[in-house]
A and B are shown apart, each in its own frame.
Chain A
Amino acid sequence: MATVPTTANVVVIGAGIVGNSIVHHLTRLGWKDVVQLDKGALPNPGGSTGHASNFIFPVDHSRENAHITMDSVAQYREMGVFTQSGGFEVARTEERMEELRRRMSSAKAWGIEAELVSPEFVQEKVPFLDADQIVGAFWCPTVGVVDSLRAGTIMRERALETGELTVVPGVEVTDLTVEDDRIRAVVTDQGTIEASYVVIAAGVWSPKIGDMAGVRIALNPMVHQMISVGPCPQLAETDGEISFPIIRDMDTLCYERQHGADMEVGSYAHRSIIHEPEDIPSIEQARLSPTEMPFTEDDFDPQLEQALELMPELLGAEGAEIRYAINGLLSLTADGNPILGESDVKGLWVSAAVWIKEGPGTGRAIAEWMTHGYSEIDVSHSNIARFHDHETTREHTRARTSEAFIKTYGIVHPGEQYASDRGVRWSPMKEAQEAAGAVFHETVGWERPWWYESNAPLVEKYGDAVMPREHEWDARWWSPIINAEHLAMREGAGVIDLTAFCIFDITGPGALASVQQTCVAQCDVAVGKVIYTPVLDARGGFVSDLTVMRLGDDHFRVVTGGAHGMADRKWFKDHLADGATLSDLTTELSTIGLWGPRARDVLASLTGDDVSHDGFGMLSCREISVKGVDAPVLASRISYVGDLGWELYVPFEAAAALWDTLLSAGADHGAVPVGIGVYGTTGRIEKGYRAFGAELDSERSIVEVAMQRPKVKAADFVGKEAYVAQREAEPLTVLCTMTVDDHTSASGVKRYMLGGEPILTRDGELLTDGHGHHPYVTSAGSAPSLGKHVLMAFLPPDQAVVGNQLAVSYMEELYPVTVGSVDSTPLLDPANERMR
């Protein structure tokens, strides 16, 4: 058996499904001198892989998770360890049937075969299920089970065959050595390995290993209970591991999965049971394995009854005994996504909170990312750099995962807010906003007013123009006040709190070189200019889109959204030129937006500085003084809502004064406080502005989203070569804006799409773009100034024709839509005259 070497190029910590997949893909991509460690023995070192129930339902509402899962299934199939069983998600209630209709939307959007079926259909395939207990089901024939331990062994052996992998089980990692923010070595109980790269793929133990390098990996080991009941006579005579479809009993948050003669019942219904990584027993201390904790019967008892209800003859059969029962530990994160990517320590990578269904796909993505700087499937929602500091604390993770656990099989609205660990970050205007009846939604800890109840009278004023929504689901986490605020802004002015922006300065002699090599747009501009720019990876996919202000020869200020700001900051840090420094001003500067046809009147009434169109042109910025505000205000003439106005940057301590001053001076001009509902959705969607994470990600090119400029700058930048090539080629997909022509459902209730729905032909036929993807709604929202509901989607180029009539499928009904824009031409004010 191999011993711990003294040096390695890359050390992968962990030999579960994730670590094995990573060593396979790294060596396949040509990595040399790879070492894999695990504390346990092979092939089952005792982590979550060893007790996983190993079934895969490919449909997920998240595109990223669905694509990673589909890639994983393809890999499992190739390895010969996938058994297709089919699977049902059964509904006991009408509310769940509606969720299953939404499931159908996602299935169609990702091109996964599925259909809604009757209880009788389910019973035909699963004769021991009591059809009277359910009202219908979602049938997915490509559901299956995998042998994840065998898959891990196959991948590890393939890596070994390259001659570049050394595997050493039974080794405990005791420390990680970091010098100058770079990983240097892995210290083990059997010697130290100097290494250039280290990957933490240690499942539930990852936080403990991350701590050794000062890297907080925000996952929580949580209990998922399962029992195995058998032998069941109905299963005893069947061949192989599984011959009946898997049942997810969604309303009781349970599943039933055949395993030979036994039926495994698993639950996501019980109270959240958390174990800190330090409280997981060692292999020697554990009864079965470290992640198979003692079963707590009382927590499972309600599930027994519900499972018996559904399968009385099977689970109640003579001789069918509970032969195995565990509190299995698995990894959960606050937002439900894995934790992937390079940490703040250079060379130290993380691949954690990954489940069986994502294992091989994630391993491939991580290996590609380490090799090329990007992965074929965009994994930006799982990027470890997404976390803000408070989101990496154990307390936050514990609170959120506790809350999220019960939602594993839950019906989660796309706008749903967390209730726990709220009120972490407030803007300086909190008091005034609360007085105005702000309804706060959270973005990365920031409490942001989504709309203001004080604007309720505007709903009366604008009447049906606020496009009220009749259906509770469409109107959940939403208010017609948003649309009323929108109309008020378009008529007079809106004052919007944008404190959640991430702001960082890049200074020093290398500042220009830093932003030039990072941004697509020309950054060598005059001081006082504002640049809106894409940021690309090496293959020409979007890393971000953001604004940069040149405040001095050697001084640039980057402003980007809060949600993605931390990843952007890491990207800029990683691409700093010599002689450049990055400093974060996020918690020092507040941003207030002032937009609308009367914005200039409002600002002019408060300043002696020239704010005329000629004196303060578009895409320029400068410091002005504002009456009643005891600090300089940096004003930037830019707009994400399509109206004349400014973003005003002001020190935190002066922000409340600026807010009050703008609103009181603005009152005469019809200015009202306006929430993020307008800023993030209605304002931008009328203008066709793209949002990162919705329309823009690393799988999309500038050309596909029609954001190319006439020229490419001479200076080099990341992704330039790819971008130049993209400009020469015909796009494989085209981002289009559509309007819904008729909202009336079969029941007569008008329905409003929320995003994620498939775009089909008028006859309901599937469309496919040049990437093999099917169109789905990337953003949806009211466009009150157009009186329309607007959808954005990537269409096959031959369908990207203005006036083209298509359909959107919402809750399994088709609604007619018409393509309104096939490039970045806005539906509202195409000539951008309102911005002048």
Chain B
Amino acid sequence: MRVLVCVKRVPDFSGEVLLRDDAQAADARFVGYTLSNHDLCAVETAVQLAAATGGEATVLTVGEAESVEQLRTALGVGCTAATLVEADPVALGPADVAREIAAVVRDHEAAAAAYDLVLLGNDAADSGDFQVGIRLAHELGRPVVTGIKTVAVDGDALRLEGDGPEGRETFRVPAPAVVTVLEGGVEPRYPTITGRMKAKKVPVEMRAAAGAATGSGRLRLTLPAVAGSSATVLGEGPEAAGAVVDLFEQLGVTR
């Protein structure tokens, strides 16, 4: 099976979020860039599917030239080909991104490298539009399921599972299809040294944008008011052990 996994370079925030001066994007200077957990799970799913079927996983991103770092991350854990559509991510709206991905899918298909499955992270960690997967499926005329945690091959079709409002949902979808992945179904691997070294050697297909950006209509980003953090002292010394255990149970992290 040939899988295309689409990822986005996003700031690696874990604490306070900063905005650039023009409020058009988040400022990553203290935290660097990464792939979101959804994207990492999509990559892991792609790599596992490729391995299970003797196929290939290709990674794609639409963004600035530096996004090649994120492509190398995916290559380092098992993707074997990569495409970068160079574009200013701030100027792009979800429709633009969907159009650009679709163009790559069609071009690759024309070059006898069609994809049986296109995976995306469920939503972007920075802009949070939740739209690209659906728009891409519409553009390509393929079925789409969002919020999926695991993907398996089921004959000619795909078996998709995710958590719905009523409980576990299972879908059987004919390939080719578009699927957006929610974190939690698979555990993304870290790169190995050999993987990272291999990733360095893979040529990245560089493409210019296929069309002009229409944007998202977003005027500016604003930060929500920061809720002050508070600390509760559970106790000191061995006497605090009971309170800690209670808290762990309350959080559901004990078994």
Size of the chain B interface, CB-CB below 8 angstroms: 24
Chain B residues near A286 (CB-CB < 8 A):
15, 30-31
Chain B residues near A321 (CB-CB < 8 A):
189-192
Asked if residues B18 and A301 are in contact (CB atoms below 8 Å), the reply is no
Of the listed residues B15, B29, B69, B192, the one surrounded by the most CB atoms of chain A closer than 10 A to its CB is: B192
Within 8 Å of chain B (Cβ to Cβ): is A709? Answer: no
Asked if residues B32 and A294 are in contact (CB atoms below 8 Å), the reply is yes
Chain B residues near A747 (CB-CB < 8 A):
none
Within 8 Å of chain B (Cβ to Cβ): is A320? Answer: yes
Question: A322 to B196, alpha carbons, bound, how many Å?
Answer: 9
Of the listed residues A229, A281, A294, A316, the one surrounded by the most CB atoms of chain B closer than 10 A to its CB is: A294
How many A-B pairs have beta carbons closer than 8 Å: the answer is: 68
Chain B residues near A283 (CB-CB < 8 A):
15
Asked if residues A304 and B197 are in contact (CB atoms below 8 Å), the reply is yes
Within 8 Å of chain B (Cβ to Cβ): is A323? Answer: yes
Asked if residues A308 and B194 are in contact (CB atoms below 8 Å), the reply is yes
Chain B residues near A296 (CB-CB < 8 A):
32
Within 8 Å of chain A (Cβ to Cβ): is B172? Answer: no
- Answer whether A287 and B192 are a contact pair too, CB < 8 Å, given A305-B197, A308-B197: no
Taking CB atoms and an 8 Å cut-off, the chain B residues in 47-74 that contact chain A are 69, 72
- Answer whether A287 and B30 are a contact pair too, CB < 8 Å, given A294-B12, A297-B69, A297-B72: yes
Neighbour of B192 across the interface among A1, A281, A322, CB < 8 A = A322
- Answer whether A284 and B193 are a contact pair too, CB < 8 Å, given A294-B31, A297-B72, A301-B200: no
Within 8 Å of chain B (Cβ to Cβ): is A315? Answer: yes
Question: A809 to B29, alpha carbons, bound, how many Å?
Answer: 52
B72 to chain A, nearest CB (A): 7
Taking CB atoms and an 8 Å cut-off, the chain A residues in 277-304 that contact chain B are 279, 281-288, 293-298, 301, 304
Question: A295 to B32, alpha carbons, bound, how many Å?
Answer: 8
Question: A290 to B18, alpha carbons, bound, how many Å?
Answer: 15
Asked if residues A315 and B193 are in contact (CB atoms below 8 Å), the reply is yes
Question: A295 to B233, alpha carbons, bound, how many Å?
Answer: 33
Question: A395 to B82, alpha carbons, bound, how many Å?
Answer: 42
Chain B residues near A293 (CB-CB < 8 A):
30, 32
Asked if residues A323 and B190 are in contact (CB atoms below 8 Å), the reply is yes
Chain A residues near B233 (CB-CB < 8 A):
1
Within 8 Å of chain A (Cβ to Cβ): is B130? Answer: no
B28 to chain A, nearest CB (A): 8
Q: Which residue of B lies closest to A300 (CB)?
A: B196
Neighbour of A287 across the interface among B31, B193, B194, CB < 8 A = B31
Chain B residues near A307 (CB-CB < 8 A):
193
Chain A residues near B18 (CB-CB < 8 A):
285
Chain B residues near A288 (CB-CB < 8 A):
14
Q: Which residue of B lies closest to A324 (CB)?
A: B190
Q: Which residue of A lies closest to B231 (CB)?
A: A41
Chain A residues near B28 (CB-CB < 8 A):
294
Q: What per-residue 1/0 map shows which CB atoms of B17-48 lie under 8 Å from chain A? A: 01000000000111111000000000000000
Of the listed residues B12, B69, B191, the one surrounded by the most CB atoms of chain A closer than 10 A to its CB is: B191
Q: Which residue of A lies closest to B12 (CB)?
A: A287
A129 to chain B, nearest CB (A): 15
Asked if residues B197 and A284 are in contact (CB atoms below 8 Å), the reply is no
Asked if residues B191 and A322 are in contact (CB atoms below 8 Å), the reply is yes
Question: A322 to B194, alpha carbons, bound, how many Å?
Answer: 10
Q: Which residue of B lies closest to A287 (CB)?
A: B31
Chain A residues near B30 (CB-CB < 8 A):
281, 285-287, 293-294
Question: A285 to B19, alpha carbons, bound, how many Å?
Answer: 12
Chain B residues near A322 (CB-CB < 8 A):
190-193, 196
A707 to chain B, nearest CB (A): 56
By a beta-carbon cutoff of 8 Å, the part of chain B in contact with chain A is 12-16, 18, 28-33, 69, 72, 189-194, 196-197, 200, 233
- Given A283-B15, A287-B14, output 5 extra A-B contacts at Cβ < 8 Å: A229-B193, A286-B31, A294-B30, A301-B200, A316-B193
